[in-house]
């Protein structure tokens, strides 16, 4: 039988691993965001189309990873520290809003084929991508608060 101390350390170790996965997925997504943004002004070409598809896939992976690596861990009450739970309860509704924005962006752009006539969407892509950048910045700031609380590095 595991001691309570060992169980807590095991749980915290798993939580740190989940957080590391989240940060890795997030970094990959931000890198692809930058790559896509560097294609401005957007052209209806294969390169932009592929960059958009790759970014949408990473974006969904990140949103899912955040949900499963962090929030599910908290919502399943595997996290027991009161201050972490209180912070998560306060922040979670804001994160849900950012997830909704991410999903709307993905739904709008994941099937877009710029090389086959979806050229009118290029006009929208620039402003939608800028708005999404603001959403991602807000989400990262919120996630970092939860991560800070979970790792004992609250500011």
What would you report as the CA-atom Rg of the chain, rounded to the nearest whole angstrom? 18
Phi-psi region of 117 (alpha: psi -120 to 50; beta: other; left: phi over 0): left
pTM of the model: 0.85
Tens digits of residue pLDDT in 112-148: 888 877 677 888 999 999 999 999 999 999 999 988 8
* Nearest C-alpha neighbor of 129 from the set 110, 105, 153: 105
Domains in the chain, ordered, with CATH?
A: 4-150 (1.20.120.1370)
Q: Can you tell me the distance from the alpha carbon of 53 to that of 81, in angstroms, rounded to the nearest whole number?
A: 39
């Amino acid at each position: 039988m595991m001691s309570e101390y060992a169980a807590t350390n095991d749980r915290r170790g798993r939580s740190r691993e989940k957080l590391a996965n989240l940060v890795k997925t997030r970094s990959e997504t931000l890198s692809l965001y930058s790559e896509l943004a560097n294609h401005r002004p957007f052209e209806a070409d294969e390169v932009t189309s592929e960059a958009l598809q790759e970014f949408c896939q990473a974006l969904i992976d990140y949103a899912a990873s955040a949900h499963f690596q962090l929030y599910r861990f908290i919502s399943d009450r595997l996290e027991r520290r009161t201050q972490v739970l209180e912070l998560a309860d306060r922040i979670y509704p804001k994160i849900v809003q950012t997830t909704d924005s991410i999903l709307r962006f993905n739904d709008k752009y994941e099937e877009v084929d710029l090389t086959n006539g979806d050229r009118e969407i290029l006009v929208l892509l620039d402003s939608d991508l800028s708005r999404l950048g603001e959403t991602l910045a807000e989400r990262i700031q919120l996630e970092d608060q939860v991560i800070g609380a979970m790792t004992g590095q609250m500011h």
